[in-house]
Amino acid sequence: MEIAVLGSGSWATAIVRIAIETHTKVHWWVREQEIADGVEQYGHNPLYLRSCELDKDKIHISTDIREVVSKVRNIILVIPAAFVVRSLGSLTSQDLKDKRIICATKGIIPETNQIVADYINDVFAIDLNNQAVVSGPSHAEEIAQERLTYLTVGSHNKEFACEIAKALECRFVKTITSCDVRGIEYGSVMKNIYALAAGIAHGVGYGDNFIAVLIANAAQEMETFLDAVAPQKRNINCFVYLGDLLVTAYSQHSRNRTFGQMIGQGYSVKSAQLEMAMVAEGYYAANCIHKANETIKVCLPIAEAVYNILYKGMSAAAELKKLSDNFK
């Protein structure tokens, strides 16, 4: 199976690293010509995950997105949600006719407040049976080091999910399948907000004991939201939900935790964004989930606290104190 990967960053680079382990050819779209030149000449991404060695003979890389998507049927989308609309703007439904989209983007489209599967369905008329989602506790830095990683491939089409799971499994990646597309997508959005909360708590001065309680409550809050927005039987303790939450909230590689820690230490949102070279999806997610919950109306005290801190300028210390008084 030949595949295409759309995206330039660390996670996209990690997905390419996985793909070349099992595929003879990977077609890769990147925005920056500097990345294309670096991969073609030296076999690594010069801007993101620079230590990750890539077999350039197995990669066709281009800055022309229409050329890349024309090559194959299976396309893995690894563009930060905040940039999906702009990045796919030159494509039409005709360009993606008969294509299958595998979403590895962990976020909500801010312009439409939709998960990626719904956006792709609405804009490009790609049926949900021709879409899949890839998620799990999977820091790009560890994949680059070939450390054992577990991924879940979700799709309404079980045969398609199994096909993609098999395509992504290699000596350092294990895969399982699921039918919970919406739950997986929303879960991957929520965990970024909770990682921000953990970072804020650490920045303010709370210790591991409090943060453990925070994350335990966050897992319950996530389950409440998923049951409301995507009702079906699921085990929130599975690694695609709880595992991804834990690694994002605790790991030194977590951009969302790092961003939150800067906010807790007193950085403004703008100054924290300028200092970080990569996107913290949780910033956009906090606003999107707040808007979604205006309709759903479930109790999300941690997500609301993060929203209040980031978008209303509320005191981080005061918001966390209110949370701490009500934790169970």
d(CA 116, CA 138): 19
289 touches 108 (CB < 8 A): yes
pLDDT at residue 214, rounded to an integer: 97
Both 39 and 134 in one domain: the answer is yes
Taking residues 151-159, report their average pLDDT: 97
d(CA 177, CA 306): 32
What's the CA angle centered on 23, arms 22 and 25, to 5 degrees?
155
Both 198 and 305 in one domain: the answer is yes
Last residue of some domain: 179, 211, 231?
179
Both 138 and 243 in one domain: the answer is no
On the question of pLDDT at 279 being above 80, the answer is no
Both 197 and 316 in one domain: the answer is yes
Taking residues 311-322, report their average pLDDT: 96
Last residue of some domain: 149, 179, 209?
179
pLDDT confidence band for 252 (50 / 70 / 90): confident
Both 162 and 208 in one domain: the answer is no
Considering its fold, how many domains does the chain have in total? 2
Query: pTM score > 0.75 for this model?
Result: yes
CATH number at residue 244: 1.10.1040.10
d(CA 149, CA 18): 11
Both 107 and 126 in one domain: the answer is yes
SS3 100: strand
Q: Please provide the average confidence, as pLDDT, over all residues in the chain.
A: 94
pLDDT at residue 326, rounded to an integer: 87
3-state secondary structure 231-299: CCCCCCCCHHHHHHHHHHHHCCCCHHHHHHHHHHCCCCHHHHHHHCCCCCHHHHHHHHHHHHHHHHCCC
By CB atoms closer than 10 A (0-12, 13-18, 19+), residue 1 is: middle
Which domain covers residue 127, as residue numbers? Answer: 3-179
Last residue of some domain: 146, 179, 212?
179
Both 50 and 80 in one domain: the answer is yes
What are the tens digits of pLDDT across the range 224-247?
999 999 999 999 999 999 999 999
